[in-house]
């Protein structure tokens, strides 16, 4: 049983699912669903479509360069069956998946922290821009009274009483 990858979104295609498109030059494109097939026919770039794996890698939302991903590459080398080799391979696959999950969690945590710092910087800039709105109303009234009294003293005009 071979699990293929979708040409457009890079998701897994299990046997009996998806569709194939064979171009005139015999290049085979596999799609997991009609959504991917239609996007391909409309000549959309997978790196610019937000829900694809290519977009997530291009924008830094997923890890791209990591030695763990070398294990996922297909190898076209037939190997004679050996029970010990098979058992070692299964153990190695489980260890590799644990390492990959750990590194992905660290990558996500790093992205969240950088986003938090950017958000705090934007909020601080906004507060500095509108600091006058944050002062207490009593402070504003006192400043206004001081300005009015200073203007009245500077000009020899007496205030009118009603």
For the chain, residues with pLDDT lower than 70 are 64, 69, 71-72, 74, 135-137, 139-140, 148, 150-162
Rg of the chain over Cα atoms, rounded to whole angstroms, equals: 32
The pLDDT assigned to 61 comes to: 82
Cβ contacts of residue 61 below 8 Å, gap of 6+?
55, 111
Q: The whole model's pTM is what?
A: 0.51
Sign of the alpha-carbon dihedral angle for 67, 100, 106, 61? positive
For the stretch 89-126, pLDDT in tens is 889 888 888 988 898 898 889 888 888 888 988 988 88
CB neighbour list of residue 85: distance below 8 Å, 6 or more residues apart? 79
Phi-psi region of 71 (alpha: psi -120 to 50; beta: other; left: phi over 0): alpha
Task: Please give the pLDDT value at position 59.
Answer: 86
Closest CA to 144 of 132, 155, 156: 132
């Amino acid at each position: 049983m071979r699990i293929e990858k979708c040409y457009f979104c890079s998701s897994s295609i299990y046997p009996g699912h998806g569709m194939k498109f064979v171009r005139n030059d015999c290049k085979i494109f596999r799609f997991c669903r009609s959504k991917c097939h239609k996007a391909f026919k409309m000549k959309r770039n997978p790196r610019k479509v937000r829900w694809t794996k290519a977009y997530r890698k291009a924008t830094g939302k997923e890890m791209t360069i990591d030695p763990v991903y070398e294990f996922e590459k297909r190898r076209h080398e037939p190997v004679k069956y050996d029970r010990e080799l098979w058992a070692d391979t299964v153990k190695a696959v489980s260890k590799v998946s644990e390492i990959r999950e750990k590194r992905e969690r660290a990558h996500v945590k790093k992205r969240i922290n950088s986003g938090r710092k950017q958000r705090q910087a934007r909020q601080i800039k906004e507060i500095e821009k509108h600091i006058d709105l944050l002062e207490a109303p009593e402070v504003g009234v006192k400043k206004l009274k001081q300005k009015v009294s200073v203007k009245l003293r500077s000009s020899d005009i007496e205030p009118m009483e009603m």
